[in-house]
Amino acid sequence: MRRSASRAVIMADQWPRCVREMKGVILDMCGVLYDSGEGGGVPIEGSVEAVRRLKSSDLQLRFCTNETQATREKFVGKLKRMGFDIDVREVFSPAPAVVAILKERCLRPHLLVHDDLLPEFDSVDKFNSNCVVIGDAADNFSYQNMNTAFQILISLEKPLLFSMGRGRYYKETDGLKLDVGVYMKALEYACDLEADVVGKPAPMFFQSVLNDMGLQPHEVLMIGDDLVNDVGGAQRCGMKGLQVRTGKYRPSDERDPTVTADGYVDNLACAVDTILKYRCV
């Protein structure tokens, strides 16, 4: 793809300085580390080794995902079985963040989420719900479950909807699948409200990762396959954002009118090659 290659070259001119100032990297997970699908998914070629190389460098590394189909523990366990060297404490996902908000504001959620995510909410009072929380519920996004969530929202004086992410779709091994953002939009329209997004691209979510690293935004690079939620979200926080041409990446992303990545690379392995090359100079 000549056009993309030439853009990558232009970008590459700016890399040396950018990489030398860098102190941390945040990685999106699905579509960067692995492609999800039946049986848990498969690692993307070179990604296991790329994570290992980043960990061996002097860069701080965190993982930032909108994954809500499993608890963080189960999710990290799956990635470990794929060969990734990842610790639960390095992973930031929306469910623990929304639980903190619910407790702080004394909110009792009705949950429209994947069955495997439910344990994350064990400590939350759910009786007589006064808000709705949705995640990537997949097959649980039935007409009946959507109606129940809608009926609860519309009966509240101040309907309150939390959406764990606002993604349009993600890639599984057997094709693209609708993500939580699509159902968020559906309920927003049904109830004439605006959801509170917890997860990428919410600035508060990225900031919590930066706080954990103790770094300033300009010292950190975000790498993701989602142009809007990974790259655009990170850029709005003052970070650099790199898009990989894996996962849900589509060639049209490189001519998107709203978001332009600071660089496009074929995959995570290429990104890490570039970073470590300039870092060692």
Chain residues that interact with a second copy, rule: CB under 8 A? 137-144, 146-147, 150-151, 154, 168-169, 175-178, 181-183, 185-190, 192
- How far apart are the C-alpha atoms of 57 and 265, rounded to whole Å? 20
Smallest gap from Cβ 170 to a second copy, in A, equals: 11
Nearer to a second copy, 147 or 173 (CB): 147
Rounded Cα distance between 257 and 265, Å, is 19
Angle 22-253-270 (CA atoms, 0-180°, nearest 5)? 45
Round to whole Å and give the CA distance between 158 and 140: 25
Nearer to a second copy, 109 or 181 (CB): 181
Residue 272 gets the label, from left (phi > 0), alpha (psi -120 to 50) or beta, of alpha
DSSP 35: E
**Residue closer to a second copy (CB basis): 73 or 194:** 194
Question: Is the Cβ of residue 62 or residue 245 nearer to a second copy in the bound state?
Answer: 245
Estimate to the nearest angstrom the gap between the alpha carbon of 116 and the chain centroid: 18
The whole-angstrom separation of Cα 4 and Cα 84 is 29
Minimum separation from the CB atom of position 158 to a second copy (A): 13
CB of 3 to a second copy, least distance (A): 18
Q: For a second copy, give the closer residue by CB, 39 or 175.
A: 175
Residue 258 C-beta: closest distance to a second copy, Å: 10
Tokens of 65: 């995902």
CB of 139 to a second copy, least distance (A): 5
